[in-house]
């Protein structure tokens, strides 16, 4: 028996890092997906294959002994096999269109697609259960994960995420995003740890920034509801300032943002920062100019459809 599932990547419009410390965040899915196929096998093994390599472990291997970056998928397979008393093995194949380590949600999308695909070999789980399984899997390699990335990947669309809860946002604004990749690969775990160190040393400043971020997210929501793209762009610029204050920007990202700001409504880092991608808010009036300005400086950039469908199992 074989089962396949696909899940989209994401961008964070507002609230990365602050969401780990309890503020809300606004996220949307993007038109780049991960597809995971899994199959029951008679060997008592869990096999994971992707462009990044391959691993094969005994089904009975304790999860604590596994050191590979494929640990989340082995965790999901073991969890399902235990729950459904299956004592053979599973083979898992991952194919991704989402560049990894650049803030576009590739690891969360892999966890969501893997949870969707592997669980369907045994039963039809609710989306809520799949999200929880994906969050637990992601936490085997990134303990502080807020759950925002897995939630948007599973549900798709544009959402407001609030400590495990989420609400779809019906955008009245017709907007697009230009995404530019600094090609500096980051480790989300390391950048989140660095922000936590900043928080410990600058407790008062950090909690003030969390308050400001919360107010900003409220304003961003209102801008979306009022169809006000100019105000939404200004909110993005302001969010970028807060991200700079907590130390997740760098010179290359700031140069890219300055170029994007010349023609777009606003621009900021998306995801963990320290590298990765920036996003620029545009519509038909300035999309080409923004793309051209970034391309002229040789930055890798593209636009994608946003708010696409979440987890799809087939
Ligand atoms: C990473 O895409 C977003 C962070 O806020 C971490 C998280 O929410 O788990 C940096």
CA of 19 relative to ligand 1 center, distance in Å: 7
Distance from the CA of 260 to the center of ligand 1, in angstroms?
A: 23
Question: Could you identify the atom of ligand 1 that is nearest to the CA of residue 144?
Answer: 9
Tell me, in angstroms, the distance from the centre of ligand 1 to residue 41's CA.
35
**Domains of the chain and any CATH numbers:** 2-170 (3.30.230.10), 176-304 (3.30.70.890)
Q: Supply 160's token pair.
A: 């407001």
Q: Answer whether 145 contacts ligand 1 (Cβ < 6 A).
A: yes
Q: Is 213 in the pocket of ligand 1 (CB under 6 A)?
A: no
Q: What's the pLDDT at 1?
A: 85
Residue 138, both tokens: 């992601």
> Which atom of ligand 1 is nearest the CA belonging to 12?
2
Pocket lining: 138 vs ligand 1, CB cutoff 6 Å: no
Query: For the chain, what is the radius of gyration of the CA atoms?
Result: 20
**Ligand 1 near 266 CB (within 6 A):** no
How many Å apart are CA 1 and CA 51, to the nearest integer?
A: 23
Residues in a beta bridge with 267:
280
Residue 85 token pair:
């008393």
Question: Which residues, in sequence order, are bridge partners of residue 94?
Answer: 36
pLDDT at 179: 98
Please tell me the predicted confidence (pLDDT) of residue 30: 97
The pLDDT score that the predictor gives to residue 173 is 83
Q: Which two tokens stand for residue 36?
A: 């995971």
162 is an active site residue: no
Q: What is the pLDDT of residue 171?
A: 81
For residues 118 and 107, what is the distance between their CA atoms, to the nearest angstrom? 16
Among 293, 246, 259, 301, smallest CA distance to 277 is for: 301
pLDDT of residue 56: 98
Q: Which residue has its alpha carbon closest to ligand 1 atom 2?
A: 271
Q: Residue 27 corresponds to which tokens in the numbers above?
A: 């996220």
Alpha carbons 198 and 194: distance in angstroms, whole number:
6
Instruction: Identify the pLDDT of residue 172.
Output: 77
Active-site residue, selected from the candidate residues 149, 162, 228, 284: 149
Walk along the chain (314 residues) and give the pLDDT tens digit of each residue. Answer: 899 999 999 999 999 999 999 999 999 999 999 999 999 999 999 999 999 999 999 999 999 999 999 999 999 999 999 999 999 999 999 999 999 999 999 999 999 999 999 999 999 999 999 999 999 999 999 999 999 999 999 999 999 999 999 999 988 788 999 999 999 998 999 999 999 999 999 999 999 999 999 999 999 999 998 999 999 999 999 999 999 999 999 999 999 999 999 999 999 999 999 999 999 999 999 999 999 999 999 999 999 999 999 999 99
Indicate whether residue 272 lines ligand 1 (CB < 6 A).
yes
How many residues make up the chain in this entry? 314
Measured distance CA(176)–CA(157) in Å, rounded: 13
20 CA from centroid of ligand 1 (Å):
7
- Say how far apart CA 168 and CA 307 lie, in whole Å: 10
Q: How far is CA 138 from CA 13, 76, 141, 250, in A?
A: 21, 10, 6, 26
Cβ–Cβ under 8 Å, residues 13 and 26: yes
Contact 154, 7 (CB under 8 A): yes
């Amino acid at each position: 028996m074989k089962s396949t599932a696909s899940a989209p990547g994401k961008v964070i419009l507002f609230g990365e890092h602050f969401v780990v410390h309890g503020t809300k965040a606004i996220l949307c899915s993007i038109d780049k997906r991960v597809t995971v196929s899994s199959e029951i096998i008679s060997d008592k093994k869990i096999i994971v294959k992707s462009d990044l390599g391959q691993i094969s472990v005994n089904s009975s291997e304790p999860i604590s002994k596994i050191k590979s970056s494929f640990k989340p998928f082995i965790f999901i397979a073991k969890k399902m096999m235990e729950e459904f008393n299956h004592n053979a093995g599973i083979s898992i194949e991952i194919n991704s269109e989402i560049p990894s380590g650049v803030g576009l949600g590739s690891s969360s999308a892999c966890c969501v697609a893997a949870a969707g695909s592997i669980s369907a070999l045994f039963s039809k789980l609710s989306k809520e259960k799949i999200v929880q399984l994906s969050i637990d899997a992601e936490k085997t390699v990134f303990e502080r994960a807020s759950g925002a990335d897995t939630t948007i990947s599973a549900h798709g669309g544009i959402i407001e995420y609030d400590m495990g809860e989420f609400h779809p946002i019906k955008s009245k604004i017709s907007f697009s995003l230009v995404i530019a990749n600094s090609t500096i690969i980051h480790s989300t775990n390391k950048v989140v740890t660095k922000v936590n160190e900043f928080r410990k040393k600058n407790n008062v400043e950090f909690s003030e920034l969390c308050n400001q971020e919360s107010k900003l997210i409220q304003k961003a929501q209102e801008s979306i509801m009022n169809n006000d793209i100019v105000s939404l762009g200004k909110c993005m610029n302001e969010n970028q300032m807060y991200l700079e204050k907590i130390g997740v920007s760098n010179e290359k990202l700031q140069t890219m943002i300055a170029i994007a700001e010349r023609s777009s409504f606003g621009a900021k880092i998306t995801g963990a920062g320290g590298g990765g991608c920036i996003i620029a808010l545009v519509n038909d009036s300035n999309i080409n100019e923004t793309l051209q300005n970034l391309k002229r400086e040789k930055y890798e950039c593209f636009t994608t459809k946003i708010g696409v469908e979440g987890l799809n199992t087939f």
